[in-house]
Structure formats: C-alpha cells, structure tokens
Amino acid sequence: MTDLHTSGLHGAGEPGPSAPRGHGHGHGHGHAVSAQADRRYLTGALALIVVFMAAEVVVGVIARSLALISDAGHMLTDAFAIVFALAAMRIAARPPRGGFTYGLKRAEIVSAQLNGITLLLLAAYFVYEGVHRLIAPPQVAGGYMLATGLAGIAVNLAATWLLRRADRSSLNVEGAFQHILNDLYAFIATTAAGAVIMATGWARADAVAALVVAALMLKAGWGLVRDAGRVFMEAAPVGVSPAEIGRRAAALPHVVEVHDLHVWEVTSGYPAMSAHILVAPGADCHAVRQAVEHLLHDGYGIRHTTLQVDHAPAEPPADDSGAFHCADPHGPAHRSEDPPPPGGSPARRASAGAVLGRVADR
C-alpha cells in the first residue's frame, strides 16, 4: 500500500503565514489596495508622457532633429507600455473561469512581450535613420534640442519617481519603468547633442544621440522579450535552480527520491512547483510533505505547490527497471544518497528534522 498526498499550498489568494517580506506581491491580502495605487501611479506617469510627447514631436519637426523625434518615438512606446500595463492589470485581476484555470494572469506577460517587440522595431528604424544622417547630416537647430532635452529630463524624472512607487516585482510595471528610465538617459544624450551643436556646429551629434537612443531601445526591448519568453516557455524563475531544490528536498529526513520536479512562473512574481516524492516505508507522508513545503516557501518563496508523496518500495527493484519512477518521468531524479549542495547538508537536515518534529507534536 502507498499513501498519496497531493497539496496545493497557498494559491494565488492565500499566502503562507511566513511569506518572505516583499515576495509574491499582488497575490495576498491587500492586493486590491496595491493594484489601485499602482494604477494611480501609472496613470499619472502616462499623463506626463503624453503631454510632453506631443510637444516634442512639434519641436522635433520644427528643429528638424531626428534625436528629438526618436525620443518622441521612444516616449510613444512608453505610453503604450503604460496603457498595456493598465489594461493587463485589469484583465489579470479577473477570476479563473472555464478552461482558464489560472485566470488571465499572463495578460501582463503578453503586454511585456508586445512592448519589447515594439522597442526592437523602433530601434531598428532609428539605427537606419541614424546611419543615414551620419553620412549626410542635415542642418539641426541645437537650441531647440537643448531646451527640449532639459524639459524632457524634468518630465522623465517625475515619471520615473511615480513608477518607482509602484510594484516593480511585476514584469509589466518593471517594463514600463525601464522604458521611462531609458528615455531619461536618451534625453540626457539629446541635451548633450544640442549643446555640442550649439558650441561647435557639428550636426552629426544629432545622429550620434539618435544611435544612443536606439541602443537603449535594443537593450530594453531585448530584456522584455527575453523575460517574457522565459515565462511563456515555463522556465524556472531567474535565480531559482530546480536541481538545487531537488537535492535539498532529497536531503530531508525520510525522503528517498524526488523526480518529475517542475518549477515555472504563472506570471511574474507567481512561481509554482510540482514534484513526485518517494519516502521511506513507514514514514509519515503528510509530515514529509509539510517539510518540503516549508523548504520551498522559506527558501525559495514558492507558495503554490502540488506535491505527490508516495511510499517507496521496501526493497529497490532487482532489475533497476525504474519502479521508483513514474511511467514517463521528466528531468533528473534526486536521491537521498546524491551529494548535497554546497553549504553542507547536516544543518539543513537538522532544520528539516525540527520541522518534522513540530509536525509530529501537533
């Protein structure tokens, strides 16, 4: 006979009692208040950007400055990023229904992916135009560039301050923040180019500034596409090693083997994990499961878990046919005799033993 325990520990609306400070923002108590505050910060930043963007386009056309127009293009993506973020926040807040068992939480990841692709396309266009203007530079009004650049620095500092107050653990909000932060750097480059043109008359400074803006767009765009792609491909969260989790779980008392271990993100800041755990014959499956859950929660901030815990056979199969495994296991199997991760296993075993002791005393 085997004991089977399947657990979903602390789902989206049920954070654990000892959650790491600041982790999993948006999934526990107070989410509605935080989301409302985030929307206010995002809306305020959007208003600043739209007003200034319109003024910058007008000045860029009058001054014939590609750097100013490229900055306006970047600010347009900033505005879209915030609009997408606001829309995604509302969509992601809808409860699960029908076939969408996680709800629409990945709406923010779709938004981040779209923002990243838009940045990459704009960067390619401005690289093309910047190279063309390096070869044949037009006359540029440096005074307009300098004045607009200084105003842009002030506006972007205000918008950056607003978004710094929002929840940046969300890939959606972080994407909007990075857009505006990079735009701030771009305005600094534009201001420097305007000063150079006024002082020396070197018109190519405008094209150089535009290429700097394009480089910043490439960096921000690639970062968003990469991070959103990791979520879509259900990769483990950055900084979380499934192999380390498997080794540490296998090092817990009474655990014989851990396999079919999967770690992924439903959306940014919402990690989840599932695994099949075999324990020694006669061991308390429920207590071992709780010890593993404590390890995941306290050590990695993983609150949403599904763990299948079974008793291992009293004797290993003579033909090593893999009776310890599922019919079709995925990934490596971590056994109790595997070398422990760096840092030493005795302390971890003692800690896990204490957890099991507390469970047994209840």
Q: What does the pLDDT read at residue 256?
A: 93
For residue 288, what pLDDT band results from cuts at 50, 70 and 90? very high
pTM: 0.70
Contact 116, 222 (CB under 8 A): yes
* Residue 251 burial (10 A CB sphere; 0-12, 13-18, 19+): buried
Q: How many Å apart are CA 57 and CA 54, to the nearest integer?
A: 5
Other beta carbons less than 10 A from residue 52's beta carbon: 22
Give per-residue pLDDT as tens, 36-92: 778 888 899 999 999 988 887 888 788 777 767 776 776 787 887 788 888 888 888
Checking phi first, is residue 8 left (phi over 0); if not, alpha (psi -120 to 50) or beta? beta
Task: Sketch out the chain's domains with CATH numbers.
Answer: 31-232 (1.20.1510.10), 237-361 (3.30.70.1350)
Q: What does the pLDDT read at residue 262?
A: 95
Show Cβ contacts of residue 99 under 8 Å, excluding neighbours closer than 6 positions. none
For residue 357, what pLDDT band results from cuts at 50, 70 and 90? very low
Residue 247 scores a pLDDT above 80:
yes
Q: How many CA atoms lie within 13 A of 85 on its CB side?
A: 33
DSSP state of 78: H
Contact 331, 261 (CB under 8 A): yes
Tokens at residue 186, please? 């771009």
Please give the average per-residue pLDDT across 160-181, as a whole number.
Answer: 79
Q: What does the pLDDT read at residue 316?
A: 60
Q: Judging by DSSP bridges, how do beta strands 334-335 and 255-267 pair with one another?
A: antiparallel
Q: Whole-number mean pLDDT of the chain?
A: 78
Residue 13 scores a pLDDT above 50:
no
